[in-house]
Copies of this chain bind each other. A is one copy, B any other.
Amino acid sequence: MKNVYIYDTTLRDGTQGEGISFSSEDKLKVAKKLDSLGVAYIEGGWPGSNPKDLEFFKQASKASFKNAKLTAFGSTRRAFCSPADDSNLNFLIESGAKAIAIFGKTWDFQVIEALRTTLEENLKMIEDSVAYLKSNSLEVIFDAEHFFDGYKANPEYAIEALKAAERGGADCLALCDTNGGSLPHEIEDIVAKVKQALTTPIGIHAHNDGELAVANSIAAVRAGATQVQGTMNGFGERCGNANLCSIIPNLQLKSDYNCIGDNIKYLTEASRYISEIANVVHHSNQPFVGRSAFTHKGGMHVSAILKNAKTYEHIEPETVGNQRRVLMSELAGQSNVLFKAKELGLDVSKEHPETKTIINEIKELEHQGYQFEAAEASFELLLRKAFSEVKEIIALDSFKLIIEKRGDQKVTSDAIVKLKINGSGTTSITADDGNGPVNALDNALRKTLEDIYPTLKDVYLTDYKVRVIDEKDGTAAKIRVLIESSDGETNWSTVGVSENIIDASWQALTDSYRYALLGKEDEAIIDNTQLERKGILNH
């Protein structure tokens, strides 16, 4: 098995996609996930281009990666200057990245039209920019922008440009189909010719404008490329970059190339996690990793599948961490629930009467738009409630919110929360304001909760995500809220769904506190004099 090195550019070229943007903290989370998936390179951004990328490299260069080399992206030096005087190149060196990718022009038309310099100067820019980075002991990848279009227009000059990078000492020449319009047989043919003319390892960087980026990447590998650049889920400008989630299994499961070894079984999880962080929909029909990729609908197919799965499946879904779904069948759901319940140590079996009830309840909730894949704490609460394992000391069920805007003044949010203390017959009413309605609710809620459970002071919300589920109905659509919380040691996620965003947030928020209190029911400090205090609005 030959090795192919996976070069992930989700965090750089992927963010050129419409609607894709990551905070520098998001970028770190994605980088860690990619590293654990086993990619060889993580291109984190262009440190010279904006402060967010600079901040990311400052943090990421301190992190330790098991598999991946942190890589920074930039361009060859400006025309007619020394590389040592080029601030962009120096930003790359200072970024702390172990490998650097710089792009340069290889299409004569582009040198003249876009770069507005001479063909000779462009070759010098390539050679001495690469050499300068190499003299700083960095691994250097030369991204040959527009290479295939350039080769078709002027093969001699395109090869000259690669030779300039080779003379500079480049470790890899990544051939870019920047406009994404090449066909697989053209790619295979041109890569083979490049292999004959040069000795440096070759990479491929494809775009999906012809819906051929996966095929083009595979064609390049067949012709001898050993590095494949792409993004998770094919994120990227216009029609996206080459989709690593499809390239990796095609190479590794169907051809004789190793990309990420045994980690391929985490591919589906990584793909969905990264969509979640980017807060974009994970397309259900995405090959290999999509929710529908191994879903069977037609009645005839389903009975064939039950006889023998390979009649309608090209690979076993588990190989890439995905699973088979059979629509209108209970088999998939039930086994998941049983599996999870067993993990929690709950005494469930198919015969147990609660099992059927809870499976039906989960189905109904999923039908309403709840999703428990990213909200395991809410799922655990549901299971434990079904088996009567949750005692509620405080009924978290009443609030009033007043949100007001007057002229050009800042919008105010004030919340009143009314909590009944079960057993004691008392009620606690507290109020607070906040930056927004959910923050106001949270602040008011905590006034009581922290009195009764002082350990809740360590609990804080780390993440708040909102997704409109059915976007067709305008402002009356259903909304799903995911909240992530932490007590500094563990993290947990909860979910709420409603037509009303405040209600959905309240569900997720109160579930988070319910989860934090699991097993701590007996720690409650109930002091009636305290509870008699009534909060009023601060203003």
Contact = CB atoms under 8 A, between A and B. Distances in A.
Interface in A248-262: 249-250, 254-255
Given A411-B503, A439-B476, A471-B464, A293 B238 contact: yes
B464 A467 contact: no
Contact of A466 (B240, B400, B466, B476): B466
A468 B466 contact: yes
Interface in A25-57: 25-26, 49-50
A539 interface: no
A455 interface: no
A294 interface: yes
A354 interface: no
Nearest to A243: B211
A8 interface: no
Contacts of A374: 18-19
Interface in A466-520: 466-472, 474-477, 479, 483, 498-503, 505-506, 509
A465 B505 CA distance: 16
Given A238-B294, A468-B466, A411 B110 contact: no
- How many chain copies? 2
Contact of A214 (B215, B297, B407, B472): B215
Contacts of A209: 287-288, 293, 314
Contacts of A505: 475
A447 B353 CA distance: 52
Nearest to A304: B114
Interface residues of A, number: 122
B311 A110 contact: yes
A16 B398 contact: no
A229 to B, nearest CB: 16
Given A403-B400, A476-B434, A468 B465 contact: yes
A439 B476 CA distance: 6
Nearest to A299: B49
Contacts of A323: none
Given A50-B330, A285-B239, A402-B402, A472 B476 contact: no
A336 interface: no
A53 to B, nearest CB: 11
Interface in A224-240: 237-240
Interface stretch (A94-102, A132-140, A160-168, A175-183): A175-183
Contacts of A293: 209, 238-239
A255 B297 CA distance: 36
Contact of A238 (B18, B183, B292, B435): B292
A405 interface: yes
A185 interface: yes
A463 B477 CA distance: 8
A470 B212 contact: no
A398 B406 contact: yes
Interface centre among A208, A285, A315 (most CB of B within 10 A): A285
A466 B501 contact: yes
Contact of A18 (B181, B285, B438, B509): B285
A349 interface: no
Contact of A314 (B210, B292, B315): B210
Nearest to A436: B500
A335 to B, nearest CB: 13
The 8 tightest CB contacts between A and B, nearest first, are A181-B314, A461-B474, A215-B215, A211-B246, A436-B500, A466-B466, A435-B499, A411-B503
Interface of A: 16-19, 21, 23, 25-26, 49-50, 110, 113-114, 146, 178-181, 183-185, 208-212, 214-216, 218-219, 222, 237-240, 243, 246, 249-250, 254-255, 279, 283-288, 290, 292-298, 301, 304, 307-308, 310-315, 327, 330-331, 371, 373-374, 397-408, 411, 413, 434-439, 442, 460-472, 474-477, 479, 483, 498-503, 505-506, 509
Given A25-B471, A212-B214, A237-B295, 15 more contacts: A18-B297, A25-B472, A179-B310, A181-B315, A183-B255, A209-B293, A210-B214, A211-B243, A238-B293, A239-B290, A240-B285, A398-B405, A403-B500, A405-B506, A442-B474
